[in-house]
Amino acid sequence: MSWESFVMMMPYITVVILMAIGLYTVLFKKNLIKIIMGIAIMQNGANLFLVSLAYRRGYIAPIFTSAESTDMVMPTPHALTLTSIVIGLATTALMLSLTMMIKKHYDSINTEDMRRCKE
């Protein structure tokens, strides 16, 4: 494996690492804030994956109307990424507000404490 091919694979390796860190955090942490951070890390990994798929070496952005070449990247992944960022912001805000309400009700943000209160 040459150095250039390794550099080209770095975004995908980073996506796998981000997804693994986020999944580990969601599955094994008991603090709600840490779980929300894990979900946010996975959302960022998905956004990086979409942007990485859209990259093409030597192609230009499709915002130029009088470009010399017709080799342009597809704008769809970038639009999906922008939409995903907005949705991620809204869901993170919702999860944090629910965490505040859980803290007021159970006086804890630990999932184990909430399970004990339920029994």
Q: Can you give the pTM of this predicted structure?
A: 0.84
**pLDDT (0 to 100) of residue 119:** 53
Q: Which pLDDT belongs to residue 73?
A: 76
Residue with tokens 């990424």, as numbered in its chain: 81
Q: What is the per-residue pLDDT across 23-44, written as a single tens digit (0 to 9) for each?
A: 999 999 999 999 999 999 999 9
Multiple choice CATH, 3-118, 3.40.50.170, 3.40.50.720, 1.10.287.3510, 3.40.250.10: 1.10.287.3510
Sign of the torsion angle spanned by Cα atoms 15, 99, 95, 89: negative
Report helix, strand or coil for 30. Answer: coil
pLDDT band at residue 45 using 50, 70 and 90 as cut-offs:
very high
**How far, in Å, CA of 21 to CA of 13, rounded?**
12
Instruction: Please state which of the ranges 59-63, 91-95, 98-102 shows the lowest mean pLDDT.
Output: 59-63
Confidence grade of residue 117 (pLDDT, cut at 50, 70, 90): low
* Residue 21 near residue 37, CB atoms below 8 Å: no
* Residue 64 banded pLDDT, cuts 50, 70, 90: low
Annotated domain spans of the chain:
3-118
C-alpha distances in Å from residue 66, one per residue of 17, 61, 63, 78: 40, 12, 9, 21
